[in-house]
Chains A and B, each alone.
Chain A
């Protein structure tokens, strides 16, 4: 992170200036493209130097693909791939006569890819923006409807809880904050309770939230921030989407409680732009909360929409995006808890993590631990299943249940009599379990022992018709495309790895691949490049014969 650019932005932010990203997005939305005049205007209004604005304008997916009057965005995420390979993408390309990222000559229609829209439960998904209308259609006939000019808004996924008393699927009602305020619970006391509850980050890293809050509380400085990471970029994951759109009050309450414990007066939610319904839902909930007095003087929030970048889910890249900079990862230390948004101490927590806090505020740490009696991990977890399953949707489950129970009993196994070939857990950087290993418990350590991860809790099945070599290529393409470009192993290494699995590539030399995976795992600056080896190693372990390895 450039301290100087952050300082320049901070000085202008204090004057209520928009971020450069805001201005560029506005231009893109209004005119479907970005010109140098727009960049100069963004520099002028945001205080960011012109060159830096140029760099921002060439980083984010939403700013790169030119938009026609009708802008078609096809999802190329893993759930959509698991559902229909590349067929849905090819169908649109061929029928529209456009490559991904192209706009036709008279500007009437454009095609772009997007990852991921969060409709993994009814993949494949396609988003069509036509003037004011912005529709996400999903399902086997979505492409046909889009091509016919009649996209239909897809239905939202089902949700339920297997707990005796739902926690995360229970509508937020501000009772946690109410209790804290009414009982005069001090910030230190709340912090201690959260630490005792051992809430582990739900976004993938699993870092104890209370510990993170403690660092921020102890950091020097009056001005502190709470940032909710709503950039749920993992294809196959739509948990935060559910929370932000159907339970926004719970999230806002969690943020307000975090603010109380840490000593922050303002919060931000970074919402991915691929979830167009999330920001309105959150703003509505915030307005209601203000009216009721839960938000306002003491703590208030700003909802900010992202601009299309997976890596922005990494906390330092996320802060850069909020500041309107390129979403690249920064080396740590300094950690955001010391030096975060605008250089101030900042807590960055995943949306789901924050949604766990109100329960602790009401019921206490012991009750929170008791939610998962078969596990050392406290609290409950939301999981979600992709379209291949018979009963996809969002489910609240305790930790320590077996993967098999989740996949077969809860989600009903695969539809149409298909068999599970492999299950990728936690996102595209998660390991893949073969069917015979579904006895593995759904828990941090148990999954790690199998080269998998809990990640964000998305459970994505590949059926028996899937080529695992195609999976390798798909995952590596995603990885290379989303690389922020800063660190060398990821920037170049993922490109090389992807090329090894190209359709016309020579047989894969396993030794070279293993070396490259080691370089990525040990050398990458963040968990993007660092995590990519995990699923590839799963593929090498369980399906070596499908990968086209050299003998």
Chain B
């Protein structure tokens, strides 16, 4: 006996969703775009990027769509101005911590383009560039591109079940490493590539694609 479906409205259009669906599920079901960076449909929602804030009637402030459960009758506004201001600000902050612009094909770059966020206006500290770690035949780390969205760690946990990756450090210097920061090969990694598949910035990417990255920068791996 499963719980009954809910009906909510998204930008004025009614849509039916199963019990337990999140506001983001409803928006996607209604075909409406909500910016996300830390969301991957293969993983449980995480709530880290805060780019998915949307307006919900009756709520005093915009709510994160990916972690807010739907209630029957909820009215959702995916373009709530305050929510979009936060989304734009978050994307701009994230761009500001990277030493170079993300590759144009990355999810981060695509979200930034769609939101109309250009070069970040934040001077100040960035992740220190380092040579790409390509000790593994297939998987490469470019640590300075990591935005700590957690998707790779969660892919290795919730999808593959190998637990070879971890977030490391705290605050601004948080990053991701494999095993005891020993690289993919020496860690428990089984090379399934789920991490590279989900990474929105190419902080983890395929070695063979490093050469194809069209950022025009000298940073990042073999030419």
Could you tell me which A residues sit within 8 Å of B by CB distance? 2-5, 36, 39-40, 49-55, 58-59, 309, 326, 328, 330-333, 480-489, 491-496, 499, 512, 515-516, 518-519, 522-525
Picked from B82, B89, B166, the residue with its CB within 8 Å of the CB of A516 is B89
Is there contact, CB below 8 Å, between A50 and B188?
yes
- A484 lies within 8 A of B170 (CB): yes
Q: Which of B89, B122, B157, B177 contacts A54 (CB 8 A)?
A: B177
Cα distance, A40 to B157, chains bound together (Å): 19
Please, which residues of chain A bring their CB within 8 A of the CB of B157?
Answer: 2, 4-5
> A2, A5, A330: which has the most chain B beta carbons within 10 Å?
A2
Residues of B near A309 (CB, < 8 A) are 170
Interface size class of B (residues with CB under 8 A): 35 or more
Taking each of B90, B161, B164, which has the highest tally of chain A beta carbons within 10 Å of its own beta carbon?
Answer: B90
Q: Report B-chain residues with C-beta under 8 Å of the C-beta of A518.
A: 82, 85-86, 89
A50-B187, A51-B166, A519-B86 are contacts. A491–B161 as well, Cβ < 8 Å? no
* Contact sample, A vs B, 22 pairs, CB 8 Å cutoff: A2-B154, A3-B44, A4-B157, A4-B158, A4-B161, A4-B163, A331-B46, A333-B67, A487-B50, A491-B171, A493-B89, A494-B171, A496-B124, A516-B89, A518-B82, A519-B85, A519-B86, A522-B62, A522-B83, A523-B50, A523-B86, A523-B89
- Residue with the highest number of chain B CB atoms closer than 10 Å, among A36, A326, A486, A488: A488
Determine whether the beta carbon of B45 is less than 8 Å from that of A331: yes
Given contacts A55-B177, A489-B93, A515-B89, 15 further A-B contacts (CB under 8 A): A2-B157, A4-B163, A5-B157, A54-B181, A59-B168, A331-B67, A333-B67, A484-B170, A485-B174, A488-B37, A488-B48, A492-B94, A516-B89, A523-B53, A525-B50
Chain A residue numbers with a CB within 8 Å of B94 are: 488, 492
Complexed CA–CA distance, A166 and B62 (Å): 43
Residues of the B chain whose Cβ atoms lie less than 8 Å from the Cβ of A487: 47-50
B179 close to A (CB within 8 Å): yes
* B165 at interface by CB-CB < 8 Å: yes
Contact partner, A51, options B48, B163, B174, Cβ 8 Å: B163
Q: Using A4-B161, A485-B170, A486-B48 as known contacts, say yes or no to A51 and B188 having CB atoms under 8 A apart.
A: yes
CB <8 Å contact, A59 and B170: yes
In the complex, whether B221 has a CB less than 8 A from a CB of chain A is no
Contact B62 A58 (CB under 8 A): no
Shortest beta-carbon contacts, A-B, top 8: A331-B47, A485-B174, A55-B166, A49-B163, A331-B67, A523-B50, A519-B89, A483-B171
Instruction: Tell me, in angstroms, the Cα distance from A5 to B158 when the chains sit together.
Output: 10
Task: Enumerate chain B residues within 8 angstroms of A331, measured Cβ to Cβ.
Answer: 45-47, 64, 67
From DSSP, what is the main secondary structure of chain A's interface residues? Answer: helix
B29 contacts partner chain A, Cβ-Cβ < 8 Å? no
B216 within 8 Å of A (CB atoms): no
B interface list, Cβ under 8 A from A: 37, 44-51, 53, 61-62, 64, 67, 69, 82-83, 85-86, 89-90, 93-94, 96-97, 121-122, 124-125, 147-148, 150, 154, 157-158, 161, 163-174, 177-181, 187-188
Find out whether the CB atom of B125 lies under 8 angstroms from the CB atom of A489: no
Query: Which of A5, A51, A491 is close to B172, meaning CB atoms less than 8 Å apart?
Result: A491
Q: How far is the CA of A484 from the CA of B69 in the complex (A)?
A: 25
Residue ID in chain A nearest B93 by CB atoms: A492
* CB <8 Å contact, A481 and B163: no
A492-B168 contact, Cβ under 8 Å, with A486-B148, A522-B53, A522-B61: no
CB B159 to nearest CB in A, in angstroms, measures 10
A193 to B213, CA, bound (A): 65
Residues of A within 8 A of B166 (CB): 51-52, 54-55
In the complex, the chain B residue whose C-beta lies closest to that of A58 is B168
Nearest CB of chain A from residue B145's CB, rounded to whole Å: 14
In the complex, what residues of A have CB within 8 A of residue B97's CB?
492
- CB distance A492 to B180 under 8 Å? no
Given A2-B154, A54-B177, A328-B167, CB of A485 within 8 Å of CB of B89: no
Nearest to A8 among chain B residues (CB) is B163
B47 touches A525 (CB 8 A): yes
Q: How far is the CB of A173 from chain B (nearest CB, A)?
A: 42
Known contacts A58-B169, A481-B171; A522/B82 CB under 8 A? yes
A48 to B209, CA, bound (A): 33
CB pair B90 A480 closer than 8 Å? no
Residues of A within 8 A of B86 (CB): 489, 518-519, 522-523
In the complex, the answer to whether B147 meets A488 with C-beta atoms within 8 Å is yes
Q: A58-B169, A525-B48 are in contact. Are A491 and B174 (CB under 8 A)?
A: yes
B124 cross-chain contacts in A, Cβ below 8 A: 495-496, 499
- Which residues does chain A contribute within 8 Å of B46, judged by CB atoms? 331
Q: Is the CB of A51 within 8 A of B180?
A: yes
- Inter-chain contacts of A3 with B (CB < 8 A): 44, 158
Kindly state the separation between the CA atoms of A448 and B45 in the bound complex, as whole angstroms. 32
**Whole-angstrom CA separation of A330 from B174 in the bound complex:** 16
Among residues of A, the one whose C-beta sits closest to the C-beta of B87 is A523
Measured in the bound complex, the distance between the Cα atoms of B167 and A484 in whole Å is 11
Q: How distant is A312 from chain B, measured CB to nearest CB, in Å?
A: 11
Distance from B112 Cβ to chain A, minimum over Cβ atoms (Å): 13
Distance (whole angstroms) from the CB of A525 to the closest CB of chain B: 6
